[in-house]
Amino acid sequence: MKVSSFKDPLLLRAIPLSARPAAQQTMRILERPEISTSASLIQDTNWHVADYPEIHVAGELMQIPYRMYYSWPDEDITSQLTPAEHLVLACWMSRHHDGRVRQRALSLIFASDAPWTIPFVVQLCGEYVIELGKDVLAFLNRDLPGRSVLQRAYKQFSNENPQFISLTEQRAASYWLDDYRSEMARDEYPQLAALRILARLFD
């Protein structure tokens, strides 16, 4: 396996301490990107950053970058990763600048019950790629009801992060208003439909 000595502290901080050893191993297969990882977090905009809420999972602060520019490593390299390392890579790639890469990563994240993956999923409901919203909505409707551990984790996340959920809904509504209101009713927009499911998980 090709090993890099390059370290990206922004990506490492996106992964909780429980999974940090896997993140450190996974970092070794990433090649330095031409564009540095964005210092903005997923709850930030380009200004008034301090106005936006922190994100916590099971009490631990999550600092997830808004965008990253690494290439997905070749299959002969990723095939040597452990399941935990694969999951770390998928979560990082869900922040990729290319929506198709984010969608590929999302399909891998759905297979995990790890609670710390949840903000990576929820964030995609506040972005403009409608295919990602459709994927999240299908997952929440089809898979989540049968996975009690993960369902409880989503409920806890929603209760711990109401401001982030609200901000994500505002962003989704803005994208619907700007891009899709002539094509579908607000209730039919998949990003907003997915967030309504999460809203029902509140205590």
Apex CA 162: angle with CA 158 and CA 61, to 5°? Answer: 75
CA torsion angle 135 138 142 145 (round to 10): 90
What digits encode the pLDDT tens for the residues 33-81? 989 998 889 988 655 444 678 999 999 999 999 999 999 999 999 999 9
What CA–CA distance (Å, rounded) separates 154 from 125? 14
Torsion 56-13-40-84 (CA) sign: negative
Cα Dmax for the chain: 50
pLDDT, tens digit, 9 for 90 and up, residues 77-93? 999 999 999 999 999 99
